[in-house]
Every structure is written in structure tokens, then in C-alpha cells.
Amino acid sequence: MVTMSEKPPVAPASNFIRNIIERDLEQGTYASRRWAGSPGDAVHQATGGPDPAKIRTRFPPEPNGYLHIGHAKSICLNFGLARDFGGVCHMRFDDTNPEKEEQEYVDSITESVKWLGFDWEAFGTSHLYFASNYFDFMYRAAEYLIESGNAYVDQQSAEEMRINRGTLTEPGKNSPWRDRPMQESLTLFREMRDGKHADGSMVLRAKIDMASPNINLRDPAIYRIKRAHHHNTGDKWCIYPMYTYAHPLEDAYEGVTHSICTLEFEDQRPFYDWVLEKLAEGGLLAHPLPKQYEFARLNLTYVVLSKRKLIELVEKQLVNGWDDPRMPTLVGARRRGYAPEGFRLFAERIGVSKADSWIEYTILEDCMREVLNASAERRIAVLDPVKLVIDNYPEGQSEDCHAPNHPQKPELGHRVVPLSRELWIEREDFMEEPVKGYFRLFPGNMVRLRYGYVVKCTSYEKDAAGHVTVVHCEYLPDTKSGTPGADSVKVKGNIHWVSAAHAYAAEVRLYDRLFKEAHPGQGKHEDGSDRDYLDDINPNSVKTITAQLEPALKDAKPEERFQFERHGYFVADSKDSQPGKPVFNRTVTLRDAWQK
Ligand code: ATP
Ligand code: MG
């Protein structure tokens, strides 16, 4: 594996998949395809005109979990290619496995894809599909494979089948049922469908080559008996297609041209081509057939993306559910304040390759910083407050200061922040005894209160424990920002503040990375035992504080994002905020604190 830390060239960069599509379009590989307006077999599609979509891709999640950042890469790739090449990307739920599929996941997945900025409306129709609607076709295709001598019912036990499959170095052995008469297989397959046989007592297998060097071609199972309730088809079926058989059929049935998947399916490609070719020979599918292309899945440092591990984090309550802002799920990232534009930029920036690699988490964070810097309005927040009293400012008085909402975007206007005698400032903006190069507040020094006056520190108070409780200063009345002559007094420091009488004291969650190691769970402990990814959880991945915020933030709406000046990007939490009482999550700091 290689580690990629430098930024690849800015998008839209070419990549091997784009090259393939460009070549296909040039050569008219898919120009003869017909599309009848909905998925279907060769006869159905022949009733349609030329497909208005130049290419068809698909995003095919199994509705058995929440989408994560890895899926975002696949979504941006598939939907992005369709958009860029005048095609359409199908939103397809791969719901052929009857267990563990729930409406909750279907809803969350469609919402996340839309949130990322994509949709499946094109050429006058919606391209939202459920693979379970193709069960009839899959069944008919299986009967055809039997009839054409390309599949048989095998009654070996699972154990016998495993042994006879052979190994990487040894060929497999033919099943004793492999050459049974076609009619016998057909009868048994129909009985399987009709519920006449027990779960696991027999399977339908493709008849290919038990000696193939590719184990996936050693007569793979294509249908199994499983009495299970399916969320869409109910109890209609007690046999279900295997994923490796179902997937190519789904692609072909939907007229997909470029079927893009992750590298672990590379060894399945010969079977993908084999089964589609057989069905085309039988007239069930039409040429040109879809082609599968593999790319490297996303691995992100400091993150785990495996569904099993994410489930474990939730079930062991190491996080507060799937949408915990520390989770790498898209619902979590959204609550964290990550922006869809940032994910699209990230997908462009990391590109697609054929080699597995680890992407540095900072690349994702930098993408978020970039889009948030451009879009987020600025606000003032004091996260670790200490009192600053302006002793020569009249008690009970206040005045307006004007702060621009965005330094590079005057069109976003400004807002009013009140100034009064008592302010909150950051604890770290005062030092009793300044270190070298410290230009902020210390006795005798002057700083500018950003958008306000220049003040001179006069004294401070401490409690019994030695903590500074109050800092005193005096302001220079002629130095107010934006007034003539404001710059007559030059100072090196510039600090932010909020008026204590007007501040909104809010709950703010300072989120950090969920894992403290770049490659969670990899490597060994000192005693030689394997490490577990749970050993690498960052114990300080969240700190909840009460911060003093400028009054305008009281009106922040859920999911509104801001830059808190000098701190980073924050978002009003979508779950825990009350009207007029928002809670804020830190999305990302202004600068990377993890760089070594
Ligand atoms: P599992 O196979 O464990 O159920 P999965 O993450 O592969 O999990 P799917 O629902 O099958 O889940 O994934 C949908 C699509 O997202 C697939 O096409 C898959 O290749 C792609 N995908 C999943 N994880 C990643 C990743 N880390 N990087 C890029 N693409 C991914
Ligand atoms: Mg998968």
C-alpha cells in the first residue's frame, strides 16, 4: 500500500474509468442500445427507441446499514460520470438477500445520496430501482441456464462442496450430480422454488469448470433455498439468487453500460461476463452487455469504514448512534457539519485508481475547510472565557460595533455586535507574564478588540487557587474600528470578545478524531498480540463546554454552518438544538493540529 499525502491535481482529472468511457463513446460501443423506459429483458428493451442516456452507471447499496465516507466516493464517481457524459446513474437497492433489510436504511440511503447533491431523475423518469423486483427474471434466467446445459442442481452437502472445490493450487472435483439429466435438474429446481425441499438440501450451480484456476468459476452456486421473509416480495420465494449471479443480471436488466465496483470483485468479473454472455446467447439479454470495472476502495487514516466495525461501535455504545458526529457515516458527517461540496471536492481530489492506498484524513478535512472558508459566515465565539472589564467605559452603556459576515464577500453584509463595559475574552489571550513574541493582553500592553477599540491592560485579579478571574483594561475612545483615525494607535495584537451582558452561553461540542492511530487496529501490541481497532479509540474525541457566543448566534438554525473566528468551523446541531437555543458542534479546526 502507498500512502498519499500530497494533493493530486485539481479536478476534473482524467482517470482510467473516464478514459474507458471516452473510448466507448468515440467507438459507439453502446450506440445501438435500446431503452424501453424501464428495466427489462431483451424483448422489452427492443420495444423502445435508442437509449437517450449515453451511458448508464449505478450505485447499488445493500439496504442493510448506513452509508459511510467510502460510499461517498462511489456515489460521486458513479453519479459524477453519468452527469459528465450525458448519462444517468441508477439508484438501485441491492435487496436480493432477504435478511436484515429495512426501510429505515432505504430512507437514510436515499436521503444521503440526495444530500450529496445527486438525484436519479433523468429523461423524464425516476431511476430508483429495487433488485428484488427482478426475481422473476432471475428465476427465468436460471431455468434457461439449466435448459441450455449451463446449470445443474447439486445435492452435495455444504461440506462436500467445500472439499470438492479444491484450493488455489489444486483443481476441484466434479460433483456426482454435475451430469444429471437436464430435465431432472429442471424438475428439482422447480421443486426448490415450490418449497418441496429443505433449506440447504440442494443448490443450483452454474456448470463452468471445476479445474479453473479462478475458484469463482468452479461451478459457483447461483440459487439457494432459504425460507425467509423478504421486505418486498414477502413469502413468495423460498429460493434466493446468490449475489454474484444477481448482480450482473441486475446491471444488464437495467441497461447499465459501465458497472463500477471495488477491487475485491475483480476475480468475479469472468463469471459476470460468462453469465451475461450465456443469457445473451439465449436471447434473454441483448448485446452490448454491461462491463464491470474495478477501482480501489477508499481507506482513510484515523477512520474505520467496515460495516461490521461501525455496527460494533454503535452497539457497544462507544458512540451515540449512527449519526454521532464522530462517526464516518454520512449522517454523522452531516451532523458534524461536513458539507456535501466538500465530499465532492474530496472525491475529485483523490481520484480513482487501481491500487489500494490509504488517503490521509487531513485531505478530507482540508476539502471541508476549503468549501467552508468560502461559504460559512463568520461569527465570534469565546470558548474558554475570562472576564475583561473596561474600567473607563460607563456602566450600563453599550454601543454597536459592525462585523463583516465574510471578509472576502462584502455582499454578505455585516452584523451588529454590542460592546459594553464587561466582556468575555479567551483565557489564552491574557498572560500575567508574556512569553517572547506574545502580543496579546498582559499588564501594560495594548491590543485591538476586533471590530472595536484599542484597549490597554491595566491589572488583573486572581482567585485563591491562582487562576486569573478578571482582567482590567482601559479603552482609547478615538480608536474605534471603522472611524476616522482609528489606526492612529498601532498595536500588534487583535483579539475577539463578546459582551458579557449580551452573550449567549451555549453548549459547544469540540469534536476530534474518533481514533488516535492512523491505521486503527493494525500491527501488534508490545507483547506480540494482535491489536484491535477498539484499542485505538481516542479517549478525547469530544469535549463539551459552555462557550460565550455573540448574540446573533442565538438565532442559528439547525445545520447552519459558521466560522467561529480564530477557532474553526461549527454547525448548529440538528438534533439537540432548540428554537432560540442552538447547540454547536465543531466541524473542523482552522488548522490541522494532528500534523506531525
Ligand atoms: P458490505 O459488503 O459489508 O455489506 P459495503 O460497504 O460493500 O458493505 P454496499 O452496500 O454493498 O456496502 O456498498 C455499495 C457500494 O459502495 C458498492 O458498489 C461498493 O463497492 C461501494 N463501496 C463500499 N465501500 C466503499 C469504499 N470504502 N470505497 C469505495 N466504495 C465503496
Ligand atoms: Mg458490498
Per residue in 429-484, pLDDT (tens digit) is 999 999 999 999 999 999 999 999 999 999 999 999 999 999 999 999 999 999 99
Is the CB–ligand 1 distance for residue 58 below 6 Å? no
CA distances 492 to 24, 430, 441, 450, 503, Å, are 61, 14, 10, 12, 26
Ligand 1 centroid, distance to 71 Cα (angstroms): 6
**pLDDT at residue number 183:** 98
Highest CATH level, class, for 381-495: mainly beta
Backbone angles phi, psi at 446, to 5 degrees: -115, 140
Annotated binding-site residues for L-glutamine read: 94, 243
Q: Out of 83, 224, 307, 531, pick the active-site residue.
A: 307
**pLDDT at residue number 592:** 80
Among protein residues, the one whose CA lies closest to atom 15 of ligand 1: 61
Is there a catalytic annotation at residue 143?
A: no
**pLDDT at residue number 10:** 45
Say yes or no to pLDDT of 485 above 90. no
C-alpha cell at 13: 482529472
**pLDDT at residue number 101:** 66
Per-residue confidence band for 596, with pLDDT thresholds at 50, 70 and 90: low
Per-residue confidence band for 4, with pLDDT thresholds at 50, 70 and 90: very low
**pLDDT at residue number 595:** 66
Is there a catalytic annotation at residue 104?
A: no
Mean pLDDT value of segment 568-574: 98
Q: Out of 165, 178, 297, 516, pick the active-site residue.
A: 297
Backbone angles phi, psi at 17, to 5 degrees: -75, -40
**pLDDT at residue number 292:** 98
Closest-CA residue to 455 (of 472, 432, 430): 472
**pLDDT at residue number 285:** 98
What does the domain layout of the chain look like in residue ranges?
Answer: 16-135+243-300, 147-241, 302-342+357-375+502-596, 381-495
Q: Out of 34, 62, 111, 427, pick the active-site residue.
A: 62
**What string of DSSP letters covers 373-414?**
HHHPEEE-EESSEEEEEETTSPTT-EEEEEEES-TT-GGG-E
Equal CATH topology for 302-342+357-375+502-596 and 381-495: yes
**pLDDT at residue number 593:** 73
Per-residue confidence band for 305, with pLDDT thresholds at 50, 70 and 90: very high
Half-sphere exposure of 44 (CA within 13 A, CB side): 13
Per residue in 159-216, pLDDT (tens digit) is 999 999 999 999 999 999 999 999 999 999 999 999 999 999 999 999 999 999 999 9
Ligand 1 centroid, distance to 51 Cα (angstroms): 28
Q: What is the mean pLDDT of the chain?
A: 95
**pLDDT at residue number 103:** 86
Half-sphere exposure of 552 (CA within 13 A, CB side): 19
Residue 90 CB partners (closer than 8 Å, separation 6+) = 56, 57, 58, 59, 120, 127, 128, 129, 254, 256
Per residue in 522-544, pLDDT (tens digit) is 988 888 888 899 999 999 999 99
Per-residue confidence band for 26, with pLDDT thresholds at 50, 70 and 90: very high
Ligand 2 centroid, distance to 23 Cα (angstroms): 28
Q: Which ligand is nearest to the CA of 68?
A: 1
CA distances 515 to 310, 312, 336, 494, Å, are 13, 14, 16, 35
Say yes or no to pLDDT of 2 above 60. no
Is the CB–ligand 1 distance for residue 309 below 6 Å? no
Say yes or no to pLDDT of 352 above 70. yes
The overall pTM is greater than 0.75:
yes
**pLDDT at residue number 526:** 86
Is the CB–ligand 1 distance for residue 60 below 6 Å? yes
CA distances 476 to 392, 393, 416, 489, Å, are 9, 10, 21, 9
Among protein residues, the one whose CA lies closest to atom 18 of ligand 1: 261
Per residue in 384-407, pLDDT (tens digit) is 999 999 999 999 999 999 999 999
Strand 468-476's sheet: what is its strand order?
A: 493-495, 446-449, 454-462, 468-476, 385-390, 422-426, 497-499
Q: Hey, CA dihedral for 188, 191, 192, 196, is it positive or negative? A: negative
- CATH 2.120.10.30 holds for 302-342+357-375+502-596: no
Q: Please report, to the nearest 10 degrees, the dihedral formed by the alpha carbons of residues 356, 357, 358, 359 taken in order.
A: -110
Ligand 2 centroid, distance to 62 Cα (angstroms): 7
Say yes or no to pLDDT of 56 above 50. yes
Candidate from 57, 62, 109, 298 with most ligand 1 atoms within 8 A of CB, to mutate: 62
* 425 within 8 A of 450, measured Cβ to Cβ: no
**pLDDT at residue number 303:** 97
Coil, strand or helix: which one is 577?
A: coil
- The rounded distance, in Å, linking the Cα atoms of 411 and 375 is 12
**pLDDT at residue number 466:** 94
- The rounded distance, in Å, linking the Cα atoms of 75 and 84 is 14
Per residue in 355-374, pLDDT (tens digit) is 988 999 999 999 999 999 99
> Tell me, which fold does domain 147-241 have in CATH?
Glutamyl-tRNA Synthetase; domain 3 (3.90.800)
Is the CB–ligand 1 distance for residue 70 below 6 Å? yes
Highest CATH level, class, for 16-135+243-300: alpha beta
Residue with grid cell 438554525, as numbered in its chain: 557
Among protein residues, the one whose CA lies closest to atom 3 of ligand 1: 307
Ligand 2 centroid, distance to 302 Cα (angstroms): 22
**pLDDT at residue number 99:** 78
Strand partners of residue 121: 126
Candidate from 74, 109, 110, 130 with most ligand 1 atoms within 8 A of CB, to mutate: 74
Is there a catalytic annotation at residue 307?
A: yes
